[in-house]
């Protein structure tokens, strides 16, 4: 990212023709270090803030690559930034589920420039 840009990774949303399905039925792991604490890099957007102190210690400045690992097992979602766990969230909303669903990259808007590389999916043991 160049600076004040906005993106994220959606998890756990169902198949749908509704473009808002990921927002309304899944969870977004935010990428935007300049936003409010519940909407900043590492946050489960509007549900749970990242550990800001841990995040700030490992977050690389704009223009450098960061590594995200998003680990979902059952209803538990963990976020690692550059190898450090910065969020540990458990879904308790009966209208949402992390046990099934899709993964998506957020395209927030034409003015936001965020790049992704080396995206990998790994099945975890049950």
Neighbour count for residue 121 (Cβ, 10 Å) = 5
Q: At residue 20, does pLDDT exceed 70?
A: yes
Please check whether residue 89 is in contact with residue 47, taking contact to mean a CB–CB distance below 8 angstroms: yes
pLDDT given for residue 39 in this prediction: 93
Is 111 inside a domain boundary?
Answer: no
Q: At residue 111, does pLDDT exceed 90?
A: no
Q: What is the CATH number of the domain that holds 69?
A: 2.60.120.560
User: From the centroid of its chain, how far is CA 58?
Assistant: 16
pLDDT given for residue 107 in this prediction: 76
pLDDT, one tens digit per residue, over 44-75 is 999 999 999 999 999 998 888 999 999 999 99
pLDDT given for residue 125 in this prediction: 82
CA distance 39 to 67: 18
Is 121 inside a domain boundary?
Answer: no
CA distance 10 to 3: 21
Which domain, by its residues, includes 45? 7-105
Q: How many domains are contained in the chain?
A: 1
Q: At residue 92, does pLDDT exceed 90?
A: yes
Give pTM, 2 decimals. Answer: 0.92
CA distance 93 to 82: 29
Greatest CA separation for the chain: 40
């Amino acid at each position: 990212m160049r600076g004040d840009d906005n993106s994220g990774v959606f998890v756990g949303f169902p198949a749908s023709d509704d473009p808002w399905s990921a927002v309304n039925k899944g969870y977004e792991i935010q990428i935007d270090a300049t936003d409010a604490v519940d909407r900043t890099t590492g946050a489960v957007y509007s549900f749970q803030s990242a550990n800001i102190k841990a995040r700030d210690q490992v977050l690389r400045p704009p223009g450098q690559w960061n590594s995200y690992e998003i680990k979902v097992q059952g209803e538990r979602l963990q976020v690692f930034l550059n190898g450090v766990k910065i969020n540990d969230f458990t879904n308790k909303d009966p209208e949402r589920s992390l046990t099934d669903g899709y993964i998506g990259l957020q395209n927030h808007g034409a003015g936001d420039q965020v790049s992704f590389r080396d995206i990998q999916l790994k099945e975890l043991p049950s």
